[in-house]
Structure 1
């Protein structure tokens, strides 16, 4: 991986290990650290002397570089594990940008390049023309600065039906994202709103990114400036750092309390909101020098807010709270108040939430954790070491040792959980890498603060749309909102449904709004303008036919200065 390291950092790798040597190792343990944590250690003089820290922060220790190196390490160790979780192929995320007017396409190409960069994918630009048009010159792509600065492939196709041409090319290159301009009034029929609806039907498994034209009379520039002002005025939220263990006994609680002790030694005001010290002498010893809120068995969010420390430690995000809310929601409340949260989570507590079908609900939702956590660090332990701890009675009581070794701590079970932990941390790392890269673009002034709006219908089944939109917001480190429009006052059944959507939105760190109006599109567009939304996310159904997207049709015709993002279809999903 020496070449990959040099490509990321711009400097040769100090040393490398051959693939043959790696293959001969019995076990590999991954010593994880988030990019933010490493940069803090560097600034504290724990890695290089102070005179070397400045240069390191601009090279190897750039946040995006550290995130890319970490992803490389996670993938390397993950590939050394055996099993379906680690060998699952990564879906291609290639991007196709469809262009009818090359002279006004720079923003489309810029968006396509950003999407490709976030997913480490390829970006292709399709120049559309009629059979009577002259072929574009060979250097056509050079007219767009974004294409010239990236490795963009320019394709040309001529045909009477632009919609069919785009769909054919998207299939040929196996694109997962399609970027195109929204139709405007007065254009040819091939760019009529029906065009977007046809693409939604022809490419059900492709993300559609429809960029609306800018608002007139300088309103677009004013809106972008307003978004930047909003970002500058937004109160600084505290980070949510999570130590993730794949099984009890990995050492997540110890890692959390050791960080608390380090922060306290540097003069930070640290409290422990919850920590299970029952029968754990080491944990009790760590707690002696730390301030505990209550008895540690149950999190009192109100008491922590009243105390207003700089940092609060929460052991086990699946544990109880005084208010009855989930600890993940409590962590969001504390973070919003400017308090840094350092927490732990066990893989056994993670799973998808139950839907209305009545399936058992997991204690802690994996999607929520991925969306809410600022940083997730894996506390990795080699399976043989963990099993030895069980045998020595360090994790379960002696009378339960044999049962544990035959059950949760059997070698196959432990290995499978460890593989899953690597997958979760790698997925979160990929999202954060995309957010760091987007942050670099925003710092350069090329992109406004992202505000993602999930446009949910007042019907059951919108949970997936809400979760997927929250993930999109997390990928770009943006604001997340959900809006539902109903024709009139909500009845009892609808109020109950909306309350569930509002609760899920809050758990994912977003804001929920219930709107009313005779026109769904008009209400959503007014709401988007009021909150300076940059991306409106819509769902669609796998079996929808052309003409079954009335909301998309109206939004494509009326939207200004916003992106319409139509998610790939899910079986049984609702048409919008």
Structure 2
């Protein structure tokens, strides 16, 4: 009979000292009081009695030579194992290099795990955190491991309160040095943590919709698609769209250009791609002869909440008689807000005279 895989729950903090270890131990004691069999498999005392594993009345599986003893934990077969510092390094000669790999063994053995992590130890964000604090991370956990966790919960503490705890000596052995505990660094790390969790929740929502074929739901964060075409300046459009989402965490303009027989190719796509990435977004090129339809289909595929599209400087009659891509997108994009922007490449001079059997006056009278 196969053993069901254990569940992983990660308590994520913006910085050392926010209380992830205490939160893990408190949760372990709560689960024990509910009748679960809980053991401490690895916990750092951090030079403080509050995080001393022996002070919590929980069973402890002793570490062996400074590493998590996975064999002893699996032989004990608890319901839940508490494992502090998911990114910690195992000593030389161990079975694995990092503690998260030991946790994988526990999960495969059917043991639920509650663990802790700080945002600077997430692989994709480690260099960003290093730039913020000036302190090297010392080892990371792959994003895939964290995204595969059954739950990632933020343990939050206001930056000013964290500084007060540091000044009072309540944070033992902090990763000091550099700018790690300066107020602006703590604020940036906190924002980085919340952005990562919001992005993870957004990805999980999209995976759920893909699995169940769920209809489009209301978006929590703004996602703006910028239609880059013949009308208007593409760099200007990208910058305007970036301002629309400047207050939305983790958002950036998503540029899209439709290649087809009816429109010209973009000028200097590599430069536009670099600009989009600097603005926190991306650039995509798709193919289609129905340009407005292709823009709308792409916007729906990325769950866009807004579309920015350039429109030439035509009057109301001109927009009716000769609607451009922007006007057609606005008419057809039900459920998505559309911003029509007059770009720097707007049309100049009078509208071309309509051709055909009827004169312009009779056409207007007919309208």
Please give the TM-score of this superposition, normalised by the length of structure 1: 0.32
Which has the higher Rg, Structure 1 or Structure 2?
Answer: 2
Select the structure that is richer in helix: 1
Please give the TM-score of this superposition, normalised by the length of structure 2: 0.49
